[in-house]
Amino acid sequence: MIALLQRVSQAQVDINSETVGRIDRGLAVLLGVQPEDTEAKADRLLQRLLAYRVFPDEQGRMNRSLTDIGGGLLLVPQFTLAADTRQGNRPGFSTAAPPELGRQLFQYFLREAEQRHAAVGAGQFGADMQVSLTNDGPVTFWLEV
């Protein structure tokens, strides 16, 4: 699984002009699923996301995690993260999970996140979403499990 996480001061996902997920300070996370991904990999990635130290402490160093600050977590399914971009001018998607596996693992990840963290919002798998955010820093990391 792939997570592109951004530290944000706010973020939201809209579908058909309706807000379906919104957070204030926290992490906006684009999730990509690959064919070999499993629930065990999703569990490991979620564990890392919740504990990843990207928020400043009193000295301004990145020593606090999402769990430490009690921030929001906005999860957005994004199959294009798994695209093959090694050649040509058009991405290939044979390296992304088939839609049913992608949907299943995104829903699993979301359920687990909601059980482990208080403030979780999400986009919708397969929907045409508009994602807006204010990247704080900017701070952006690519995590892969």
Catalytic residue check, 78: yes
Q: Which tokens in the block code for residue 134?
A: 């204010």
Catalytic residue among 55, 79, 109, 125: 79
Q: Which residues contact 101 (CB under 8 A, 6 or more apart)?
A: 33, 35, 37
Catalytic residue among 34, 55, 78, 125: 78
Q: How far apart are CA 50 and CA 65, in angstroms?
A: 6
Catalytic residue check, 125: no
Cis peptide before 138 (omega within 30 of 0): yes
R_g of the chain computed on alpha carbons = 15
Catalytic residue among 38, 80, 107, 130: 80
Catalytic residue check, 79: yes
Q: Which amino acid is at 84?
A: D
Point out the residues that are catalytic: 78-80
